[in-house]
Every structure is written in structure tokens, then in C-alpha cells.
């Protein structure tokens, strides 16, 4: 896959190459698989005593801050697990950025490097470290090329307000084998 003009000219590894380089452990795959059922059961009312709570930063770009935050969140998630399923937002793209900084997946250090190749590896390592804490992750795939690189760690995909009305986001979501959450539309009305 080639990148836009001005971006790194390094070829992007295939999803399988990235999997070989940074493998997903069997225990993590099992956590993601079982969590998909959990995250579907709560809104359906099959676990009436539990709430489903998505929390975390709008985007992940401060690696040391993420590790500190996720360790604290893992402790809290363990304490409240009977009543609340905490799911951390792990977004590596900025949905509201039409112009300018597109997010940490494209330029984590905010210096214009556009090293998407390296950032895919960084994102996968962050996902892996969060999963080792038994935390559940959700993400938003704004670039339709990204799901094969990241979906192994994400138990559901959320489409936030900035993207919920874009056709390509709905088309990408329809092809994913995970629960899909949609926030209200741009006007603020609840979706039906």
C-alpha cells in the first residue's frame, strides 16, 4: 500500500507480517472472543445487573501516559467487574480532524514525520500491553485500510459522532466480525 505525497515512502507491512512481528497471544485472543459476547449481552439486557462503560482518551499518543492510565484502569476494572464492564478507548486517529493533525497513527510526536509504518507497530504494542492487563479495548477505524491490522485486539468498533454519517465508515463497520457501537449523529439526536 502506498502513502499520500509527503508521507513516509516505506512500504507498509501486511497484517500477517505485523502479526508475525508482534504476535497476539492465545490468551489475549480468548479474552477478545469472550468479551465480544459480554459486550453484546449487556445492551441486550442479558446481564441486567451490569453497565457497559467506555472510557479513556479521545486518542492515544502519549505512550507513557497510556501505560500509567491503563494500569490504574485495570485495577478499577477488577474492583467493579461484577457491576461494570469497563472498556478503554484506544483510538489512534482523530475523527474530527479534517485538516491538520490526523492523529497519533500518522504523526505521534506532532513533528510532521508521518511514519505510519512505525506507528502501526507502536499501536499494536500498545494494544498488546493493554490486553495483558485483561482490559477490553474499543477503537474507531477511520481509515478503511486499518481493520486487518488492529481488529485482533479490539472487541468492538465504535463510530463516534464525527464519522457516524459517513458512508465509508458504515460500510467498513458492516464487514467487521465484532459488535458495532454508534454515537449520536452530528446534530446530536439519538440514532434509531
Domains of the chain: 15-182 (3.20.20.70)
Q: Residue 117 class from Cβ within 10 Å (0-12 exposed, 13-18 middle, 19+ buried)? A: middle
**Predicted pLDDT at 51:** 93
Continuous segment of H or E residues that includes residue 51: strand 51-55
**Predicted pLDDT at 113:** 62
**Predicted pLDDT at 192:** 45
C-alpha cell at 85: 464492564
C-alpha cell at 166: 459517513
Per-residue pLDDT of the chain (192 residues; tens, 9 = 90+): 333 444 445 567 788 888 888 888 888 888 888 888 888 888 888 888 899 998 888 778 777 788 889 999 999 999 999 999 999 888 887 765 556 667 777 776 666 666 666 678 888 888 888 888 988 888 877 777 777 777 777 766 666 555 667 777 777 777 777 777 776 665 655 554
- Output the pTM of the full model: 0.74
The span from the CA of 16 to the CA of 14, in Å, is 5
Amino acid at each position: 500500500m502506498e502513502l499520500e505525497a509527503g508521507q513516509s515512502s516505506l512500504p507498509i507491512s501486511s497484517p500477517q507480517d505485523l502479526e508475525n512481528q508482534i504476535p497476539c497471544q492465545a490468551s489475549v485472543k480468548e479474552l477478545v472472543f469472550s468479551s465480544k459476547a459480554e459486550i453484546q449481552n449487556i445492551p441486550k439486557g442479558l446481564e441486567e445487573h451490569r453497565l457497559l462503560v467506555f472510557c479513556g482518551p479521545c486518542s492515544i499518543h502519549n505512550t507513557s501516559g497510556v501505560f500509567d492510565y491503563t494500569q490504574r484502569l485495570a485495577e478499577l476494572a477488577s474492583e467493579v467487574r461484577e457491576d461494570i464492564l469497563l472498556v478503554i478507548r484506544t483510538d489512534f486517529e482523530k475523527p474530527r480532524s479534517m485538516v491538520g493533525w490526523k492523529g497519533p497513527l500518522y504523526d505521534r510526536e506532532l513533528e510532521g514525520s508521518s511514519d505510519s509504518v512505525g506507528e502501526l507497530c507502536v499501536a499494536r504494542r500498545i494494544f498488546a500491553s493493554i490486553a495483558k492487563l485483561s482490559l477490553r479495548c474499543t477503537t474507531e477505524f477511520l481509515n478503511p485500510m486499518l481493520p486487518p491490522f488492529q481488529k485482533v485486539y479490539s472487541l468492538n468498533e465504535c463510530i463516534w459522532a464525527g464519522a457516524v454519517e459517513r458512508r465509508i465508515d458504515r460500510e467498513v463497520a458492516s464487514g467487521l466480525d465484532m459488535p458495532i457501537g454508534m454515537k449520536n449523529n452530528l446534530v446530536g439526536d439519538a440514532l434509531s
